[in-house]
Structure 1
Amino acid sequence: MSFGKARRGLIPTLGPRGAAPALAGPREWAALAVLVLPVVLISVDMTVLGFAVPQLSEELRPSAGQLLWIIDIYGFILAGLLITMGSLGDRVGRRRLLLVGSAAFGGASLLAAFAPTPEVLVVARALLGVAGASLMPSTLSLLRNTFLDARQRLLAIAIWASGFSAGAALGPILGGWLLEHFFWGSVFLINLPVMALILVFVPILVRGSRDPRPGRMDLPSVALSMATMLPAVYGIKKLATEGITVVPAVSLVFGLVLGAVFVRRQLVLKDPLIDVDLFRSRVFSVAVVTNLMIVFSLVASLFFLTQYLQLVLGVSPMRAGYVLLPGLVLSVLASFVAVRAARRLSLATVIGSALVVTAAGFAVLVLTSEHDTATGVAVVALGFGLIATGAGFAETLTNGAIMSAAPPQRAGAASAISETAYELGGALGVAVLGSVLTGFYQSGLTRVEGVPAPSMEQAGQTLGGAANAAAGLGGTAGADLLDAARTAFTGGMHVTSVIAALIVLAAAVQAWVLLRRETGPAMTGQRDGTDASAAEPREQERSRG
Structure 2
Amino acid sequence: MSTTTAPRRTAPVPARAGLRQWAALAVLMLPVLMVSMDNTVLSFALPDISSSLHPSGTALLWVVDIYALMLAGLLVAMGSLGDRIGRRRLLLVGAIGFGAVSFYAAQVDDINGLIVARALLGVFGATLMPSTLSLLRNIFLDRQQRRLAIAVWAAGFSAGAALGPVIGGWLLEHFTWHAVFLINLPVVVVLVPLAVWLLPESRNPNPGPFDVVSIVLSMTTMLPVVYAIKTFAEHGLTAAVGWTVAVSVLSAVAFVRRQLAREHPLVDVTMFRNRVFSGALGANLLSLMGLTGFLFFAAQFLQLVVGLDPMEAALVLVPGLVATILAGLLVVRLVPVFGVRAVVSASFGLSAVGYAIAAFAGSLPSATSIAVAFLVLGVGIGFAETLTNDVVVSSVPAEKSGAASALSETAYEIGAVLGTAVLGGILTATYRAEVSLPPLAGTETQREAAGQTLGGAMDLADAIPPQVGGWLVESAHLAFDHAVQTTSAVAVVIALGAAAVSWFTLRDAER
After TM superposition, the score normalised by the length of structure 1 is 0.89
2:188 to 190, 195, 203: 195
Query: Is 1:446 matched up with 2:418?
Result: no
1:410 to 400, 404, 428: 400
Cα shift at 1:240: 1.5
Q: Spell out the pairing of 1:121-160 with structure 2 (5 A cutoff).
A: 121-160=114-153
Instruction: Give the distance between the partners of 2:290 and 2:466, measured in 1 at CA.
Output: 38
The answer for the alignment partner of 2:382 in structure 1 is 392
Q: Spell out the pairing of 1:65-464 with structure 2 (5 A cutoff).
A: 65-367=58-360, 376-448=366-438, 451=441, 454=444, 455-464=446-455
Counterpart residue identity of residue 120, structure 2:
L
Instruction: Give the distance between the partners of 1:320 and 1:422, measured in 2 at CA.
Output: 25
Instruction: Give the distance between the partners of 1:287 and 1:39, measured in 2 at CA.
Output: 20
Cα shift at 1:395: 1.3
Instruction: Give the distance between the partners of 1:457 and 1:185, measured in 2 at CA.
Output: 24
Count the aligned residue pairs: 501
User: Is 2:442–2:463's contact at 8 Å kept on the other side of the alignment?
Assistant: no
Query: Is 1:493 matched up with 2:490?
Result: no
Instruction: Give the distance between the partners of 1:497 and 1:40, measured in 2 at CA.
Output: 28
Query: Is 1:39 matched up with 2:36?
Result: no
Cα shift at 1:369: 7.1
Q: Which runs of 4+ in 1 moved over 4 A?
A: 368-371
Deviations 1:238-281 (A, max 9, x none): 11221111112211221122112111111111111111111111
Cα shift at 1:449: 5.8
Deviations 1:338-377 (A, max 9, x none): 0000111122211111110011101111136797xxx701
User: Is 2:355–2:488's contact at 8 Å kept on the other side of the alignment?
Assistant: yes
Cα shift at 1:60: 1.3
Q: What stretches of structure 2 of length at least 5 have no aligned partner? A: 1-9
Q: What stretches of structure 1 of length at least 5 have no aligned partner? A: 1-12, 525-545
Query: Is 1:513 matched up with 2:510?
Result: no
Instruction: Give the distance between the partners of 1:499 and 1:235, measured in 2 at CA.
Output: 19
Counterpart residue identity of residue 461, structure 2:
A
Instruction: Give the distance between the partners of 1:456 and 1:263, measured in 2 at CA.
Output: 46
Deviations 1:482-540 (A, max 9, x none): 11111101101100001011111111111112334x2xxx653xxxxxxxxxxxxxxxx
Cα shift at 1:406: 2.4
Cα shift at 1:218: 1.1
User: Is 2:259–2:267's contact at 8 Å kept on the other side of the alignment?
Assistant: yes
Cα shift at 1:14: 3.4
Deviations 1:24-63 (A, max 9, x none): 1111101001111111111110111010001111111111
Q: Give the secondary-structure state (helix, strand or coil) at the position aligned to 2:338.
A: coil
Identity of paired residues, percent?
50
1:61 to 54, 61, 65: 54
Instruction: Give the distance between the partners of 2:412 and 2:32, measured in 1 at CA.
Output: 11
Segment drifting more, 251-260 vs 355-364: 251-260
Deviations 1:130-188 (A, max 9, x none): 10000011111101111121111111111011001111111111011000011101111
Counterpart residue identity of residue 502, structure 2:
A
User: Is 1:68–1:430's contact at 8 Å kept on the other side of the alignment?
Assistant: yes
- TM-aligned CA distance change 1:407 to 1:148, over 3 Å: closer
Instruction: Give the distance between the partners of 1:223 and 1:307, measured in 2 at CA.
Output: 36
Instruction: Give the distance between the partners of 2:465 and 2:404, measured in 1 at CA.
Output: 56
- TM-aligned CA distance change 1:100 to 1:409, over 3 Å: closer
Instruction: Give the distance between the partners of 2:443 and 2:249, measured in 1 at CA.
Output: 39
The answer for the alignment partner of 1:535 in structure 2 is none
Instruction: Give the distance between the partners of 1:191 and 1:515, measured in 2 at CA.
Output: 37
Instruction: Give the distance between the partners of 1:368 and 1:476, measured in 2 at CA.
Output: 31
Cα shift at 1:324: 0.2
Query: Is 1:478 matched up with 2:469?
Result: yes
Instruction: Give the distance between the partners of 2:223 and 2:206, measured in 1 at CA.
Output: 31
Instruction: Give the distance between the partners of 2:332 and 2:340, measured in 1 at CA.
Output: 12
The answer for the alignment partner of 1:530 in structure 2 is none
- TM-aligned CA distance change 1:384 to 1:367, over 3 Å: same
Instruction: Give the distance between the partners of 2:59 and 2:487, measured in 1 at CA.
Output: 21
- TM-aligned CA distance change 1:59 to 1:370, over 3 Å: farther
Instruction: Give the distance between the partners of 1:177 and 1:211, measured in 2 at CA.
Output: 43
Q: Give the secondary-structure state (helix, strand or coil) at the position aligned to 1:211.
A: coil
Segment drifting more, 472-481 vs 312-321: 472-481
The answer for the alignment partner of 1:541 in structure 2 is none
Instruction: Give the distance between the partners of 2:252 and 2:481, measured in 1 at CA.
Output: 36
The answer for the alignment partner of 1:14 in structure 2 is 11
Counterpart residue identity of residue 382, structure 2:
G
After TM superposition, the score normalised by the length of structure 2 is 0.95
Instruction: Give the distance between the partners of 1:513 and 1:219, measured in 2 at CA.
Output: 36
Q: Give the secondary-structure state (helix, strand or coil) at the position aligned to 2:337.
A: coil
The answer for the alignment partner of 1:527 in structure 2 is none
Deviations 1:189-224 (A, max 9, x none): 111111112112100111111111110111110111
